[in-house]
Structures are given as C-alpha cells and as structure tokens.
Amino acid sequence: MSTVLPTQQQEPGFAEKLKADAKDRIQSFRSGFRLGELSGSLGDLGTLLPIVLSLSLTGQVDLTASLIFGGIWNILTGLTFRMPMCVQPMKSIAAIALTNHMSMGSVMGAGMGVSAVVMALGLTRTIHYVQKYTPMSVIRGIQLGTAVSFGGKAADLVKQAKSFWGDSWTWDNNYEWACLSFIIVFIFYYRSKRIPTAMILFSMGLIIAFIKLYTNPLAKAVYPKIGIYTISTTVPTWEEFKHGFLTASLGQIPLTCLNSVIALNALAQDLFPERPTGTPTIAVSVGMMNLVGCFFGSIPFCHGSGGLAAQYRFGARTEVSIIILGFLKIVVGLFFGSSLSGLIGSYPSAILGVMLFVSGIELGAVARTVNDGVLSDQKRHANFIVMITTASMLVGFKNDGIGFLGGMVAAICFYIGGRWAGSMDDDIKEEEIIDQASAVTTARGGNDEQDTSIRKVSPETESQDSLGPAQLDANKSASRP
C-alpha cells in the first residue's frame, strides 16, 4: 500500500495577508461602534484641555493647528497601533513654557528637538536597549509616580473651584460638582464599557460652560463662531530652537522616553497582549508627530501611559474610540478653531480635576503587577523598594529623569548586594533548616541546650545513620580483630 505524504502548508501570500488584515479591521470597526468607545475617547480630556487652553490663550501655540493635527495623529495612531493609543501634550515643555514665557518659536523648537532625539533612538533601535536594561520595578515606579503626580494636579484643578456654600461660592465651578463627578465615576467604575461615565461628565461640564459663557462671561470672552479656520507655518529661528532645546527639551527627553515610550509599551502589553507594539515604533510615531505639526504652530504632542490608562478606564477598547475623537477634533478645529477658547476657558475645573484623578488611579493600579511571576521573597521585596524609591523621587523632585536615576541606582545596589554580599533567601533557607534540625532533636528526646547547628555529614556517616541498631552491632563485631 502506498503511503499518503502530508501536504506541506504554504505560507499565505501578500494579497491573502492584506485581505485577512482588512477583514479583521472591518470586524474591529463594527464591534467598536458603541457608547463605551466614545466615552473612552474623552477620558484624557483632563490632561488635554487645561494645557492646550493655557498655551493658546498666551499665544504660545495655535489652537486651530493643535486641534487639527491632534485629530490627524489620533486617526493615524489608531490605524497603526489598533488600540486607544492616546495623543496628549508634552507636559514638561508646557510647564516650562508657561513659567518662562517662551515664544511660540521656542516652544516649537523644543518640541522638534525632543522629537528628533526620540525618533533617532527609534530608528536606530537603541531605545530597545533602554527598555531591555530598565528593570520592570523602575518602569512600574515611573507609572506609580506619574499616577501620584496626576492626583496632585487633579487636586490643584479641584481647588480652583469654590468651597462648599462659602461667601465666594459660584454655581458653575464648586466642590459640589467635584463630589458629584467623583460619585458618578466610582458607582459605575466596573461598568464603564456599558455606562459612558466620561461622556456624562464631559456633557455635564459642556452644558455648564455654555450657560456660564452666555450669562456671566469673563472679561473679553471669545464666543464660538462657525467659519473656515486656516493654519500657517511657524518656522523657529536658530536662536529660538537653541533656547527651546536647552530650556525645555532636556527635561522632556527622559519623560518622553520613559513614560511615553517604555512605560506606555509595558502598559499596552498588559492591557492589549493580542496587539503587540514595540518601543521603536512608538518612538518613531512621537518623532513624526512633532517634526510635522510643530511647523504649523501645533502644541508638541506625545503618547503616554496615563492617557492610555484613562481612555481604557472610561471604556475604550479598540482603535475606533480615538479615530472618532480624531474626526471630531478635525471638524471642530476647521469650523470653530480659535473661537473655542472662551468655551474651553469656561469649562469647570472641578470636573476636569476628577477626570484627571481617575486617570491617575487607573495608571497607578498597574503597579500591583510589579512582582507577577517572581517567586523569591528577596526579589519581591527588592522590587517593591525600587518601585517606591522611583515613584517617591519622581514626585518629590517633580522630574521623571531624577526618579529614573534614583530607581536605577537602587536596583543596581540591590543587584550588587545580592551578588557579592549574600542573599536574604539563603539566610531564610538556613533558618528553616535550623528549625527543622531543632524539631528533629526535640523529637529524639533532646533538650534545648543541645547544639542545633548545621553540620556537614560525610557519605559514610550518613549511610551509618540510616542503619538500624542490629545492623550497627553486626558491623561493629565484624570490624573487631
């Protein structure tokens, strides 16, 4: 009889792969059109709105360009990564720009400088080595420290509101709105995919902002006006580029590499293991966003683990969420543009603060996995200490780079101590053996004064210890002359 040889399975061709990918994307889009995705897309507004508004009101960025390019990057990153990858402002550059009253050209130069460095690390794949030699405990510490920082910034936003029914109490921005928002979020915390809490909070704040703007506007308030808003190029001079790079870029580079690339990649693998990402791809994405957008006055953008955590917590599970958000940003930027500054300025900070606080909670929650898969008690203890050290220094010095260096020094010291000064686990094992020896001595009728130290037993002695009394007497008789 002739045997039937198994047929060799052929690899699918390019056309078949393209067809399968298109089919998978269509199914993802169909399943992604639900309220939870739209709600999740609004989860990062607590970070976006205050920063964009502050810089646009001072003329340091162009609001129209920021909205349009922010929407474009939302769509492109959604199609590229196929997850709710956030697009958020570079916070360190924004803070330094506001503090030092930097010009628009200097802010654009700072964004381009950071992006050039990060993109070079991605293209040369050297960012991979930064990830490879950065302990997970340090990454979790950065995420935990960022979460605590978010909590502090959220508290600052809430404190801008008026206290409970005080003399200066106002109906539109007070602690009562903050408490109500807090209760709404946590009552439906585990139902965010079905109950769009972010959409509820955003809509509530938007209604308040409209009423305030048209009934009690701020001085020189700008009202929304429909039209066609265009953008123009903004090319920084060499002096502006140098000033922006030396003043703001140097502090943003470690923050972008650690939180926007490495920590984000770790969080994406935790939340979406079926959608593998890579640090080089994320780094190149950050570089492309600003090397293009900053030439038109857009605020410097990056990705971030906090934004991804926020959007995930409020219901985003697919790329549909940020693609919808991207289209909304483009439409609003084209037809309303800078006229929205008055409406954004009237938005209650109490509600924004709660949304930012929840973002921090979700980001900090991933720190609980720092010891997943670690069996050694010493390693688990060391990981926790390194994580707390990283987070504490990040929060205390308000600098991701210092937190990273502190965590790395602590991790290296633990490594050297364990390699050259002995292991805590070895001490624990020795104590357990001593306890076992003490128990055996007690069972044989010994007293507490007997030596319970561990002795090395020769093979001959060990074999004799295993013999019974009759066999020992026979051996002794045979050994006598």
Nearest to 52 by CA among 35, 38, 67, 71: 67
Decide if 37 contacts 83 (C-beta within 8 A): no
And the tokens for 317? 């599970």
Nearest to 310 by CA among 298, 301, 321: 321
Looking at residue 198, its pLDDT comes to 84
And the tokens for 149? 């920082």
Question: How far does Cα 170 stand from its chain's mean position?
Answer: 35
Looking at residue 142, its pLDDT comes to 85
- 3-state class (DSSP) for residue 89: strand
Give just the sign of the alpha carbon dihedral 130, 131, 135, 140: positive
Decide if 354 contacts 178 (C-beta within 8 A): yes
Decide if 247 contacts 106 (C-beta within 8 A): yes
Looking at residue 455, its pLDDT comes to 40
- 3-state class (DSSP) for residue 5: coil
Nearest to 210 by CA among 345, 338, 333, 325: 345
Q: Which residues pair with 302 in a beta bridge?
A: 88
Count of H-run helices and E-run strands, the chain: 23, 2
Decide if 74 contacts 322 (C-beta within 8 A): yes
Give just the sign of the alpha carbon dihedral 117, 119, 122, 127: positive
Question: How far does Cα 268 stand from its chain's mean position?
Answer: 9
Looking at residue 3, its pLDDT comes to 54
CA angle 178, 181, 183 (to 5 degrees): 110
Measured from the Cβ of residue 254, the count of other Cβ atoms closer than 10 Å reads 18
Nearest to 268 by CA among 255, 284, 252, 282: 282
Distances (CA, A) of 217 to 34, 156, 177, 222: 35, 23, 19, 9
CA distance 166 to 175: 11
Q: Provide DSSP, 43-57.
A: TTHHHHHHHHHHHHH
Q: State the amino acid at position 305 in one-letter form.
A: S
Give just the sign of the alpha carbon dihedral 282, 283, 285, 289: positive
Tell me the backbone φ, ψ of residue 328, rounded to 5 degrees.
-65, -40
CA distance 232 to 224: 21
CA distance 178 to 205: 11
CA distance 340 to 223: 7
Measured from the Cβ of residue 456, the count of other Cβ atoms closer than 10 Å reads 5
Looking at residue 335, its pLDDT comes to 95
Burial of residue 312, with CB atoms counted within 10 A of its CB: 0-12 exposed, 13-18 middle, 19 or more buried: buried
Contacts of 11 (CB under 8 A, 6+ apart): none
Query: Which residue carries 């490495």 as its tokens?
Result: 262
Delimit the domains of the chain by residue range.
30-370, 371-444
Helix or strand (DSSP H, E) at 123: helix 104-123
Helix or strand (DSSP H, E) at 287: helix 279-293
CA angle 381, 385, 387 (to 5 degrees): 115
And the tokens for 445? 């009728």
pLDDT per residue as tens, the chain (481 positions): 455 555 555 666 667 767 777 777 777 777 667 777 888 888 888 778 888 888 888 889 999 999 999 999 999 999 999 889 889 988 878 877 887 889 999 999 999 999 999 999 999 999 888 888 889 899 889 889 888 888 888 898 899 887 777 777 888 999 999 999 999 989 988 876 677 888 889 899 999 999 999 988 776 778 899 999 989 998 899 999 999 998 888 778 887 888 889 989 999 989 998 888 889 999 999 999 999 999 999 999 999 888 888 888 888 888 899 999 999 999 999 999 989 988 988 999 999 889 888 878 877 888 888 998 888 888 999 999 999 999 999 899 887 778 889 999 999 999 888 888 665 555 555 555 566 656 655 655 544 444 434 344 444 444 444 444 444 444 444 444 4
